[in-house]
Chains A and B, each alone.
Chain A
Amino acid sequence: MEYVIEMLNIRKEFPGIIANDNVTLCLEKGEVHALLGENGAGKSTLVGMLFGMYRPDGGVIKVQGKAVKISNPNVANELGIGMVHQHFKLVHNFTTTENIILGIEPKIGFSVDTKNAAIRVGELSRQYGLDIDPYAKIEDISVGMQQRVEILKMLYRNANILIFDEPTAVLTPYEIEELLKIIRNLTNEGKSIIIITHKLKEIKAVAKHCTIIRRGKYIGTVNVDTTTEAEMATMMVGREVTFKVEKTPAVPKDIVLNVKDLNVMNNKKVLGLKNFNLEVRSGEIVGIAGVEGNGQSELVEAITGLRKIESGVIFLKGDNITKIPIRERIKKGIAHIPEDRHKRGLVLDYSLEDNMVLEIYNQPPFAKNGLLKKNKIREYSNKILKEFDVRSGEGGKSMARSLSGGNQQKAIIGREIELNPDLLIAVQPTRGLDVGSIENIHKRIIAHRDSGKAVLLISLELDEILNVSDRIAVINHGNLIGIVEASETDENEIGLMMAGINKDGGSDI
């Protein structure tokens, strides 16, 4: 078999950690090759070397059978290797075409020839079924579309080998399906693709081979058709993984959170949440299902105090908390796993230790008379990091910024659960985590419920909502469409409700 890419016995060390140890990955022409591994297993490092972001400490990289040194991304481009990053690198007030030609602008005299470029963009877009408007501005198009612009950027540069770094993490379920279609189109046109993901479903759907690494070590390469999801998961995690979330029926008791007639403005200064009512009792998990941007963020920010409300009342354990500051709400027993871990969840330039006491740094035993007790903070943080399996180069001393996304997320979840809050608000708690960690986090959330606390779960993953919640509230355009028992509903019913169609068949849009 002829390989377009061979990465043989690759080794890469970072201070305090061996990111890749004797890893081999061979990509056939025209295939989709999945790269599977837990958070921090070294997937991004491996493809980073292929894209010239890092240089390997050992091993050989061959492109089309020839050994090459990829010293920077420009060399990778010349070799026909292109990468779609997890966080897009686009100029927001440029058009799609301007973004695509950025750096290699075709010129007529001294001016940029956008007209012909736009025609070429249009042609490529049609050829691969990308459906991109060459003149649309990036800020006006959806995240899924932006991703396609990134894909087209590489096609425009004649890349034959495309690397996708967790491409579905930022997409809605519908967008994911569209992306998988595009990926199939690309391979049909002869492109070879490496896709980093830990969503086994997607691997099953598009990939031919799957290479698995665990803690930097090469575990094996399997044929996707003849391997089950469970087998792949076991290889990745190193133990058997259950996909079903095990839990006993909920025993709801007192009302912990009571939201009454809540109206909240969104960032566009229109009502993002309209006359919203919700009760969450101790001992139950209430899931909020809805398509992204239908009022979930507004609800969470109103409860936690990050956003001003227009009208309505919020009660916590019977106390009116509508007007009290954020810190008071935390003290009264609200913990919050935020949607955006980089913006809200962590002070990225603080060490992990300092981040683990972000809400309680000024309380005993971590502070006395206004002085920080570093020893106590270290002990406490080590406990969380160990319990939640947060992996980092230098333990608690590592800068939060230096951790992989999944480990950052685990650290935040650990910190919030460790506060033992009466109300845990978990927004997308397993975003970007691998199956092993997801299983673990779900168990933790259910254990929190079983200890008699209330949980409000907001997720865009319908599976997660259905599996973990006891009751499900569906939200659409800021309206509460209805509340259903998780055990008595299914994906179809929730899906319809998410589109704004009521159980009774009525629509309120």
Chain B
Amino acid sequence: MKKCIISLISVFLGLVAGAFLMWASGHNPVEGFVYLVQGGTKSISRIGDTIATAGPLILTGLSVAFAFRTGLFNIGASGQMLFGGFCATAVGLTFDMPRPLLLLSMIIVGAIGGGIIAFIPGLLKAMFNVHEVVSTIMMNWISYWVVYYTIPAYFKGTMETESAKLPATATLKSASFSKMFDGSYINLGILISIISVLVIWFILDKTTFGYELKAVGFSRFAAEYAGISVNKSIISSMVISGALAGLAGVIHYTGNASSIQIGVLPSQGMDGIAVALLGATTPIGVLFAALFFALLHAGRGFMGAMTEIPPEIADTIIATIIYFAATSVLIERIIDNAKRRKSAKLEMKEEK
């Protein structure tokens, strides 16, 4: 409840900062915001696109949030996502199977791919206490270069820097789904995101497994004392977190897109950290935070096209929101102070 309010205040403060910037650069903030929102909601197809954009963000946000909840800082969602997407693409380009079976294998292999990239930092942390911030970032570059080498060597498409296009049957695109949203590029990926949100919420809140992982996250010494295997928990957390990022890669590269470009780490990986923070590291919060960020991303271009306002304003709003979400302690304290003052005032009135 309190966390929800803090996130909303962060959003509000971010928007205020954006409004100020628009005003300061000589534009009309109201107009700016109208286009910003319209860009992502004006038509059914735009709404569909916004939701599709949110898909990978939900999963990377979930990946980071899950790691946070279990005491780990997975800063390598980008690399896990890229590698997961790459594995799924490789399966899609290599095998010829009935569509449901093919898609299912791609999803599973993609999750495993992300999980493997995260397994190594998990193992290093468990065995040698290597901090995961360092090792996950390094893994980003390992998956970056593996993909950089492998795509042109084995899956080359029409361009040097791109993989071959996946055949339509090997993607998550669904004609009927797309029709429902008036030709939007929305695809089956969003279902994977939503199911993942539910599964992660269930694991964290309802299962003994989640109890163990959270206990290790909060206090590894108390967990050890209770007989919980700390090393196993750390590795499991990292693998699950990586698998979620891997799924983000699956729906990004084989749903929203249908090929992989080399030489780019997906920005959703880092955005996942922001989504997780704004979502107060809860699965449901992540879902809404990702939708909101997707709205800003979608509206950014529209605002740029319709007004003179530089699209960087949208980025600034996002950055400001992240800043306030990350410093939520500050907002919490302000709320507490306000409450105290209010109750003091009430008492004074009563005394009078």
Question: Footprint of B on A, CB under 8 Å?
Answer: 55, 57-58, 304, 306, 325-330, 336, 338, 343-350, 354, 358-359, 361-362, 367, 370-372
* Residue from B208, B221, B224 in contact with A370 in the complex, judged by beta carbons closer than 8 Å: B208
Cα–Cα, bound, A325→B214 (Å)? 21
Per-position contact with A for B193-216: 1 when CB-CB < 8 Å, else 0?
000000000000011110110110
What residues of B have a CB within 8 angstroms of the CB of A304 in the complex?
A: 225
Interface residues of B in 224-270 (CB under 8 A from A): 224-229
Nearest opposing residue in chain B for A304, CB measure: B225
Q: Are A367 and B208 in contact (CB under 8 A)?
A: yes
Q: Are B227 and A327 in contact (CB under 8 A)?
A: yes
Q: Are A347 and B218 in contact (CB under 8 A)?
A: yes
Shortest beta-carbon distance from B350 to chain A in Å: 11
Cα–Cα, bound, A359→B222 (Å)? 10
What residues of B have a CB within 8 angstroms of the CB of A326 in the complex?
A: 224-227
Shortest beta-carbon distance from B296 to chain A in Å: 32
Task: List, sorted by A's number, 11 A–B pairs whose CB atoms are closer than 8 Å.
Answer: A57-B343, A325-B229, A329-B227, A347-B222, A348-B219, A361-B212, A362-B208, A362-B211, A370-B207, A370-B208, A372-B208
What residues of B have a CB within 8 angstroms of the CB of A327 in the complex?
A: 227-229
Cα–Cα, bound, A367→B212 (Å)? 13
Q: Are A306 and B225 in contact (CB under 8 A)?
A: yes
What residues of A have a CB within 8 angstroms of the CB of B226 in the complex?
A: 326, 330, 358-359
What residues of B have a CB within 8 angstroms of the CB of A346 in the complex?
A: 219, 222
Nearest opposing residue in chain B for A13, CB measure: B343
What residues of A have a CB within 8 angstroms of the CB of B222 in the complex?
A: 343-348, 358
What residues of B have a CB within 8 angstroms of the CB of A361 in the complex?
A: 208, 211-212
* Residue from B206, B224, B227 in contact with A372 in the complex, judged by beta carbons closer than 8 Å: B206
Q: With A338-B225, A350-B218, A361-B212 given, name 9 new contacts (CB 8 A).
A: A325-B229, A326-B227, A329-B227, A330-B227, A350-B214, A350-B215, A354-B211, A358-B226, A372-B207
Question: Footprint of A on B, CB under 8 Å?
Answer: 206-209, 211-212, 214-215, 218-219, 221-229, 340, 343-344, 347
Interface residues of B: mostly helix, strand, loop or mixed?
A: helix
Cα–Cα, bound, A325→B219 (Å)? 19
Cα–Cα, bound, A359→B225 (Å)? 8
Q: Are A344 and B208 in contact (CB under 8 A)?
A: no
User: Which of B207, B218, B227, B344 lies at the interface centre, i.e. has the most chain A CB atoms within 10 A of its CB?
Assistant: B227
Q: Are A372 and B347 in contact (CB under 8 A)?
A: no
Cα–Cα, bound, A348→B224 (Å)? 14
Shortest beta-carbon distance from A397 to chain B in Å: 14
What residues of B have a CB within 8 angstroms of the CB of A329 in the complex?
A: 227
The 3 closest A-B pairs by CB, nearest first: A327-B227, A344-B225, A326-B227
Nearest opposing residue in chain B for A358, CB measure: B226
Cα–Cα, bound, A359→B227 (Å)? 7
Nearest opposing residue in chain A for B340, CB measure: A55
Cα–Cα, bound, A79→B71 (Å)? 42
Q: Are A345 and B225 in contact (CB under 8 A)?
A: yes
* Residue from B218, B227, B340 in contact with A348 in the complex, judged by beta carbons closer than 8 Å: B218
Q: Are B221 and A325 in contact (CB under 8 A)?
A: no
Shortest beta-carbon distance from B240 to chain A in Å: 15
Nearest opposing residue in chain B for A346, CB measure: B222
Cα–Cα, bound, A376→B224 (Å)? 24
Cα–Cα, bound, A213→B117 (Å)? 59
Q: Are A344 and B215 in contact (CB under 8 A)?
A: no
What residues of A have a CB within 8 angstroms of the CB of B208 in the complex?
A: 361-362, 367, 370-372
Shortest beta-carbon distance from B203 to chain A in Å: 10
Q: Are A336 and B225 in contact (CB under 8 A)?
A: yes
Cα–Cα, bound, A347→B206 (Å)? 18
Cα–Cα, bound, A55→B340 (Å)? 10
What residues of A have a CB within 8 angstroms of the CB of B221 in the complex?
A: 343-344
Cα–Cα, bound, A293→B340 (Å)? 45
Q: Are B206 and A371 in contact (CB under 8 A)?
A: yes
Q: Are A306 and B224 in contact (CB under 8 A)?
A: yes
What residues of B have a CB within 8 angstroms of the CB of A325 in the complex?
A: 227, 229
Q: Are A370 and B209 in contact (CB under 8 A)?
A: yes
Cα–Cα, bound, A55→B57 (Å)? 44
Q: Are A371 and B207 in contact (CB under 8 A)?
A: yes
What residues of B have a CB within 8 angstroms of the CB of A336 in the complex?
A: 225
Known contacts A371-B206, A371-B208, A372-B208: A347-B215 contact under CB 8 Å = yes
Cα–Cα, bound, A327→B344 (Å)? 51
Shortest beta-carbon distance from B7 to chain A in Å: 19
Q: Are B224 and A347 in contact (CB under 8 A)?
A: no
Cα–Cα, bound, A80→B211 (Å)? 48
Known contacts A359-B226, A361-B211, A370-B209: A347-B219 contact under CB 8 Å = yes
What residues of B have a CB within 8 angstroms of the CB of A330 in the complex?
A: 226-227
User: Which of A58, A325, A347, A359 lies at the interface centre, i.e. has the most chain B CB atoms within 10 A of its CB?
Assistant: A347
Shortest beta-carbon distance from B209 to chain A in Å: 6
Nearest opposing residue in chain B for A330, CB measure: B227
What residues of B have a CB within 8 angstroms of the CB of A344 in the complex?
A: 221-222, 224-225
What residues of B have a CB within 8 angstroms of the CB of A55 in the complex?
A: 340
Nearest opposing residue in chain A for B209, CB measure: A370
Known contacts A347-B219, A348-B219, A362-B208: A57-B347 contact under CB 8 Å = yes
Cα–Cα, bound, A358→B227 (Å)? 9
What residues of A have a CB within 8 angstroms of the CB of B206 in the complex?
A: 371-372
Nearest opposing residue in chain A for B202, CB measure: A371
Cα–Cα, bound, A57→B226 (Å)? 41
What residues of A have a CB within 8 angstroms of the CB of B215 in the complex?
A: 347, 350, 358
Cα–Cα, bound, A372→B224 (Å)? 20
What residues of B have a CB within 8 angstroms of the CB of A362 in the complex?
A: 208, 211-212
Nearest opposing residue in chain B for A355, CB measure: B222
What residues of A have a CB within 8 angstroms of the CB of B211 in the complex?
A: 354, 361-362, 372
Cα–Cα, bound, A358→B212 (Å)? 9
Nearest opposing residue in chain B for A367, CB measure: B208
Q: Are B223 and A347 in contact (CB under 8 A)?
A: yes
What residues of B have a CB within 8 angstroms of the CB of A372 in the complex?
A: 206-208, 211
Shortest beta-carbon distance from B144 to chain A in Å: 36
Nearest opposing residue in chain A for B210, CB measure: A372
Cα–Cα, bound, A325→B208 (Å)? 19
Nearest opposing residue in chain A for B226, CB measure: A358
User: Which of B206, B211, B214, B223 lies at the interface centre, i.e. has the most chain A CB atoms within 10 A of its CB?
Assistant: B211
Cα–Cα, bound, A310→B219 (Å)? 27
User: Which of B214, B221, B344 lies at the interface centre, i.e. has the most chain A CB atoms within 10 A of its CB?
Assistant: B221
What residues of B have a CB within 8 angstroms of the CB of A359 in the complex?
A: 226-227
Cα–Cα, bound, A343→B224 (Å)? 10
Cα–Cα, bound, A169→B226 (Å)? 26
What residues of A have a CB within 8 angstroms of the CB of B227 in the complex?
A: 325-330, 359
Cα–Cα, bound, A47→B283 (Å)? 42
Shortest beta-carbon distance from B227 to chain A in Å: 3
Nearest opposing residue in chain B for A343, CB measure: B221
Shortest beta-carbon distance from A466 to chain B in Å: 29
Shortest beta-carbon distance from B235 to chain A in Å: 16
Shortest beta-carbon distance from A492 to chain B in Å: 36
User: Which of B209, B222, B347 lies at the interface centre, i.e. has the most chain A CB atoms within 10 A of its CB?
Assistant: B222
Shortest beta-carbon distance from A77 to chain B in Å: 21
What residues of A have a CB within 8 angstroms of the CB of B212 in the complex?
A: 361-362
Cα–Cα, bound, A344→B221 (Å)? 5
Shortest beta-carbon distance from B220 to chain A in Å: 10
Cα–Cα, bound, A371→B343 (Å)? 42
Shortest beta-carbon distance from A329 to chain B in Å: 8
What residues of A have a CB within 8 angstroms of the CB of B228 in the complex?
A: 327
Cα–Cα, bound, A304→B226 (Å)? 10
Nearest opposing residue in chain A for B343, CB measure: A57
Cα–Cα, bound, A354→B212 (Å)? 11
What residues of A have a CB within 8 angstroms of the CB of B229 in the complex?
A: 325, 327
